Amino acid sequence: MLTAMVTDADIAAQIDLLSAWIEAQMAYSGLPGLSIGIVYDQEVVWARGFGYANVETHVATTPQTIYRIASITKLFTSTAIMQLRDAGALQLDDPLIKHLPWFSIQQSATDAPPITIRHLLTHTSGLPREAAFPYWTDADAFPTLEQIRATVPHQETVLLPETRWAYSNLALALAGQIVEMVSGQAYASYIQQHILEPLGMRSTYVASPDPQHPQLATGYSRRLPKSLRQPSPFTDCQGLTPAANMSSTVEDLARFAMLQFRTDPVGGTQILRGSTLREMQRVHWLEPDWQAGWGLGFRIVRQYGKTYIGHGGSVRGYRTEVRICPNDKIAVIVLTNADDGNPLMYADRACQWVAPAILRVATPVPTTTTPQPVWQQYVGKYRNAWGDVQILILNGALRMIAPLQLDPTLTLATLIPVAEHTFRLDTPDGFSAPGALVVFALDDAGQVQQCKVGEMAFYPQAEW
């Protein structure tokens, strides 16, 4: 699949490079199939299938091939929680027992605070990673909700809440139960009605699809020494459905990715308001190395000077990844049908190679603007009791610097015209009043008497 953007020679060349590399990696690793899509804002720039959805029958993969997306399901559960929060039906800091009266678990510490909904979404609850069943070693051992409810009281927390990030499938299964209790709808019904249908995700399933569904990719085992891959047993996560059971396609997940870039009022395809999306996408728990953390449902990493959000998925026969750069409005979806599919590797290369080319086309660097003659009247030195600023014209723009800084370029601000003698301040940091109005007051002779930055007034000085 190609869009008009791919007619750009640089983007096309980078996609050719990525495609050649994917083909070689798959050939030598023996990966059965892979579907990939790259999104820019509200457009699928490129999507393609590689290899086979079913090796035995030579069914080729496409962007419409269905894969089990496993833990990417958690993003949908988190989205549902935030919809209910915005509707006033719950608060993120509600204790679990407010909505799940049956919930109890043995505490590893006597001074443990209550586990809240926020703890579930950020994986800081201290709950065990799994319910008390061996479902990751036995494909048929996923427990029902009733079994989870019966065994949780016999489990014990492993950490105090908010002392360490620790991934938990059990936590998101409980979040799904909160969706049911608060909404009065079955989890699958709620996700279908309030998320999938408004977004037009018509090939996405909450309940397990028919294993014989013609679009469903067959899952395969790892490639082991001296043995061939085998079809993996089909799984149904049952009581763990809100944590890992959904199935989808590259095309459908692209629609979910596009949502992350929109800021329209709630309604139609805008199933969450922009402020809520940004709330989910920012760090709520930061790991000690400051390179990764967790939002509300989203994994957040800092890599190559950019911040990415997303989630991976892993269930028998499938490995999947959604990686999103909110600032660039670029998303990459990679779905594979093998236990060693390594989708993050492919998503990472797409972000490194193709995304920069897309950005060069979508957001070209503006040419140097022509300074306006009237700007010259603002140029000069200004002072108040707190410090000095200087206004100058630099690279075609009206700029403000703090000249006493050892390196004033680090706080170089731009004055963006909004009205006569009025500008909006654009700064590289949050300390320098970004977004504040800069208003120049002139006398009858056209001489600047005052430069007001927000509520701070500076006065012109002929000399230092």
Q: Quick one: pLDDT at residue 139?
A: 61
Same domain, 255 and 141: yes
Q: List the chain pLDDT tens, one digit each, 464 residues.
A: 446 677 789 999 999 999 999 999 999 999 999 999 999 999 999 999 999 999 999 999 999 999 999 999 999 999 999 999 999 999 999 999 999 999 999 998 888 899 999 999 999 999 999 998 888 776 668 999 999 999 999 999 999 999 999 999 999 999 999 999 999 999 999 999 999 999 999 999 999 999 999 999 999 999 998 888 999 999 899 999 999 999 999 999 999 999 999 998 899 999 999 999 999 999 999 999 999 999 999 999 999 999 999 999 999 999 999 999 999 999 999 999 999 999 999 999 999 999 999 999 998 766 556 778 889 999 999 999 999 999 999 988 999 999 998 888 888 999 999 999 999 999 988 888 899 999 999 999 889 999 999 999 999 987 77
Same domain, 77 and 214: yes
Residue 368 lies in a domain: no
Domain edge (last residue) among 341, 362, 383: 362
Same domain, 388 and 290: no
Same domain, 167 and 267: yes
Nearest Cα residue to 220 out of 211, 229, 212: 229
Domain edge (last residue) among 362, 381, 403: 362
Same domain, 425 and 343: no
Same domain, 319 and 386: no
Same domain, 230 and 196: yes
- Global pTM reads 0.89
Q: Quick one: pLDDT at residue 408?
A: 87
CA 428/CA 434 separation, integer angstroms: 8
User: What's 455's domain CATH number?
Assistant: 2.40.128.50
Q: Quick one: pLDDT at residue 4?
A: 67
Q: Which residue has the tokens 């001296």?
A: 226
CA 148/CA 263 separation, integer angstroms: 38
Residue 412, phi then psi, degrees to nearest 5: -65, 120
Sheet holding 292-294, edge to edge: 59-60, 43-54, 33-40, 330-336, 318-325, 306-315, 299-303, 292-294, 285-286
Residue 367 lies in a domain: no
Q: Quick one: pLDDT at residue 280?
A: 98
Same domain, 128 and 186: yes
Same domain, 286 and 387: no
User: What's 113's domain CATH number?
Assistant: 3.40.710.10
CA 19/CA 15 separation, integer angstroms: 6
Same domain, 410 and 261: no
What is the domain range of residue 290? 4-362
Strands (E), 212-256: 247-248
Same domain, 386 and 337: no
Q: What is the sign of the dihedral through the CA atoms of 401, 404, 407 and 410? A: negative
Domain edge (last residue) among 333, 362, 391: 362
Domain count, the chain: 2
Q: Quick one: pLDDT at residue 226?
A: 84
Residue 142's Cβ-count burial label (10 Å; 0-12, 13-18, 19+) is buried
Same domain, 250 and 378: no
CA 347/CA 335 separation, integer angstroms: 10
Q: Quick one: pLDDT at residue 141?
A: 83
Residue 226 lies in a domain: yes
Q: Quick one: pLDDT at residue 390?
A: 95
